Amino acid sequence: MRAWITAAPPGAQLPSNRALMLEHGASPVTVQKAVRQLAALGLVESRPGVGTFSRTIRQARPTDLSWQTAALGAPRARLSGLSSGYPGKDLLPERLVRAALARASRTEAALMRSPAAGLPELQAWFASQVAASAPVGVTPPSARDVLIVAGSQSGLSSIFRALVGPGQPLLIESPTYWGAILAAEQAGVTLVPVATGAHGPDPDDVDRAFAVTGARAFYAQPTFANPTGTRWSADTGAAVLDIVRARGAFLVEDDWAHDLAIDADPQPLVGHDDDGHVIYLRSLTKSVSPALRVAAVLARGPARERILADRAAETMYVSGVLQAAALDVVTQPGWSTHLRGMRQHLRDRRDLLLDSVRTHAPQTHVEHVPVGGLNLWLRLPDGMDVDHLVHECETRGLLVAPGSEWFPAEPSGPFLRLNFSSENPSRFREAGELLGKALLTLA
């Protein structure tokens, strides 16, 4: 019907509902629903008793927004490709999520405002998850230390604004998650890249960067880092914790892939901290549902109060229905079954894509097989024009992301990021072949 409207002259009358039912083999309810949707989109207007007509589009003059250039000046940060990496729908606990949403809609949460810090039961659940990884002798966090946020992305923005601030330095792994780079840039923070590798950053580099810049915070992903899928060694984790303690600084630990483990179990560093040095982020958006958009920030002391004040200024509170539904999902007996299944699927998909890339694009190199997460980080031959390669892949129907988006400064080499959690693993062989062909055209 949209195609019909686009082709028809403005003001043309739509065929009668009866004619549309016959033409599309649809019920009267479906036809009425479609017409209502078209009206809501402003594409048609119904005149009761007369009929439905395509809307006359008034030919407005071209809009002139050029004045905004002078008013706004140069932007702090530019949006580039922003390659999002959420798992395919078939990896999500669909049945649990749908049932949880239905139940949540019948609770008080559907009509009430949530407390600013979040639903107490959900705060308690996140705290208990961290407590489970705390060794004897370390005081576990309380539910009060947890702030519920609408996705860890907005948590990152709050942390950078509240604990670092404009013009202040922030140590950040390189490569790292592009969204953290963007959030920090938007907050006006000055980025201080620290190279990271298979076992994490060199602690001496971290200490030197703190000393040289006077930074008070380090953003890092010790577990299943995006994009490399690597995990810090226990020694690196312990050494970095000692450094942040000695420097009176914060470690912002982004545990984004806690539920996306493949070959190793996550052991967040926050479990070893009871002095408020670690600000911890854990998200459910990739394992429960991106649509529920629920995550947590764990912070203690004045840092918690600062972040909470920022949250209040930004959004006041997170939808209680979404929080109730998220809590329902993670407390169902089916949740751990789901996580086990997800681990197996991720392992299968990772191995399938890895195998395909190694077979069909042998000029590329996976330096570290990811032990968790959703991505393969592929080193390309030196001198490769990565943007050109991405374009060549795209014209063949293969979507890949240029590695440059994950570097806070100049990339240390040519890289691609491939997501292995998409819904179509049966096409991974073809994906490797397409990449191989695209590489050949650039050789």
Ligand X SMILES: Cc1ncc(COP(=O)(O)O)c(C=O)c1O
Is the distance from CB of 232 to CB of 223 less than 8 angstroms?
A: yes
Q: Note whether 372 binds ligand X by CB under 6 A.
A: no
Residue among 38 and 160 whose Cβ is closer to ligand X: 160
Letters for 303-342 (x = contact with ligand X by CB under 6 A, - = none) are ----------------------------------------
Rounded to a whole number of angstroms, the CA Rg of the chain reads 25
Residue among 179 and 370 whose Cβ is closer to ligand X: 179
**Which residues inside 264-283 make contact with ligand X, applying CB under 6 A?**
283
| Residues 279-291 as b or e (16 or more Cβ within 10 Å = b) | bbbbbbbbbbbbe
Extract the runs of DSSP E, i.e. beta strands, from 87-231: 146-149, 169-174, 190-197, 200-201, 217-220
Residue among 193 and 432 whose Cβ is closer to ligand X: 193
- Provide, rounded to whole angstroms, the least separation between the CB of residue 82 and ligand X: 10
Q: Note whether 425 binds ligand X by CB under 6 A.
A: no
Residue among 247 and 293 whose Cβ is closer to ligand X: 293
Of the candidate spans 51-59, 150-158, 349-357, 416-424, the one that interacts with ligand X by CB under 6 A turns out to be 150-158
CA pair distance 156, 166, nearest whole angstrom: 14
Burial class (CB in 10 A: 0-12, 13-18, 19+), 190: middle
Is the distance from CB of 263 to CB of 372 less than 8 angstroms?
A: yes
Q: Note whether 118 binds ligand X by CB under 6 A.
A: no
Q: Give the dihedral of Cα atoms 184, 189, 192, 198; nearest 10 deg.
A: -20
Residues 6 or more apart in contact with residue 282 via CB below 8 angstroms:
126, 129, 130, 152, 255, 256, 258, 268, 295, 296, 298
Q: Note whether 432 binds ligand X by CB under 6 A.
A: no
CA pair distance 5, 422, nearest whole angstrom: 34
**Which residues inside 204-223 make contact with ligand X, applying CB under 6 A?**
221
**Which residues inside 164-183 make contact with ligand X, applying CB under 6 A?**
177, 179
Q: Note whether 85 binds ligand X by CB under 6 A.
A: yes
Interface with ligand X (CB under 6 A), residue from 93, 118, 141, 151: 151
Residue among 231 and 360 whose Cβ is closer to ligand X: 231
Residue among 30 and 84 whose Cβ is closer to ligand X: 84
- Provide, rounded to whole angstroms, the least separation between the CB of residue 141 and ligand X: 19
Whose CA is closest to 254, among 167, 316, 170?
Answer: 170
417 strand-pairing partners: 377, 401
Q: Give the dihedral of Cα atoms 67, 68, 71, 73; nearest 10 deg.
A: -120
3-state secondary structure 186-210: HCCCEEEEEEEECCEECHHHHHHHH
Of the candidate spans 147-155, 330-338, 412-420, 421-429, the one that interacts with ligand X by CB under 6 A turns out to be 147-155
How many residues contact ligand X, by CB under 6 A? Answer: 13
- Provide, rounded to whole angstroms, the least separation between the CB of residue 85 and ligand X: 5
- Provide, rounded to whole angstroms, the least separation between the CB of residue 143 and ligand X: 20
Letters for 281-310 (x = contact with ligand X by CB under 6 A, - = none) are --x-x---------x---------------
Q: Note whether 87 binds ligand X by CB under 6 A.
A: no
Residue among 226 and 364 whose Cβ is closer to ligand X: 226
Letters for 42-81 (x = contact with ligand X by CB under 6 A, - = none) are ----------------------------------------
Residue type at 224? F
Residues 6 or more apart in contact with residue 118 via CB below 8 angstroms:
146, 147, 148, 296, 317, 318, 323
Give the residue at shortest CB distance from ligand X.
Answer: 151
Distance (Å) of CA 19 to CA 11, 14, 27, 45, 49 = 18, 9, 11, 18, 17
Instruction: Looking at 257-333, list the stretches that DSSP marks H as alpha helix, in order from N- to C-terminal side.
Output: 302-314, 320-330
Of the candidate spans 52-60, 151-159, 335-343, 415-423, the one that interacts with ligand X by CB under 6 A turns out to be 151-159
CA pair distance 90, 342, nearest whole angstrom: 10
Residue among 96 and 159 whose Cβ is closer to ligand X: 159
CA pair distance 3, 65, nearest whole angstrom: 31
Of the candidate spans 2-10, 149-157, 322-330, 420-428, the one that interacts with ligand X by CB under 6 A turns out to be 149-157
Residue among 20 and 318 whose Cβ is closer to ligand X: 318
| 3-class DSSP assignment, residue 24 | helix
- Provide, rounded to whole angstroms, the least separation between the CB of residue 227 and ligand X: 8
Residue among 31 and 294 whose Cβ is closer to ligand X: 294
Pairing of strands 375-379, 415-419: antiparallel
Residue among 37 and 84 whose Cβ is closer to ligand X: 84
Q: Note whether 407 binds ligand X by CB under 6 A.
A: no
**Where on the chain is the footprint of ligand X (CB under 6 A)?**
85, 151-153, 177, 179, 221, 226, 254, 256, 283, 285, 295
